[in-house]
Amino acid sequence: MPLGKRLYSPAMSESAPNPTLSPYILEILRCPVTGSRLRLEQGWLIAETGGLRYPIREGIPVLLAEEAKLPPGFDSLDAFRARFGRSD
């Protein structure tokens, strides 16, 4: 990464309603469950495939499947993985 490139806004915190991440970091991050790209929307990183929503805490993306919010229609992470999970 080039020197001086910011990964996140220094003003971000858990109380910030809409944190921002640099385009550079958004380009490389992927959903750990589906492997799809992530988009930033209203302070969450949302997987393009399936719609899992990952929190950003104090400017740091928390890409743990257990911390993600499930999209409507799924009552468990296992059910989500059965439909959208990648097979490595």
Residue 78 lies in a domain: no
CA distances from 18 to 1, 12, 44 (A): 24, 8, 8
List the single range of 19-23, 35-39, 49-53, 59-63 with lowest mean pLDDT.
19-23
Give the three-class secondary structure for 63. coil
50-53 contacts at long range (C-beta below 8 A, 24 or more positions apart): 50/80, 50/83, 50/84, 52/80
Compute the CA torsion angle 27, 49, 45, 22 (nearest 10 deg).
10
List the single range of 2-11, 14-23, 24-33, 49-58 with lowest mean pLDDT.
2-11
Residue 39 lies in a domain: yes
Q: Could you read off the pLDDT of 37-53 as tens digits, one per residue?
A: 999 999 999 999 999 99
Report how many domains make up the chain: 1
- The range of the structural domain enclosing residue 14 comes to 1-72
Residue type, position 39, single letter? R
Residue 81 lies in a domain: no
**Given the DSSP bridges, would you call strands 44-47 and 38-41 parallel, antiparallel or unpaired?**
antiparallel
Residue 80 lies in a domain: no
Report whether 16 contacts 43 (CB < 8 A): yes
Which pTM does this prediction carry?
0.76
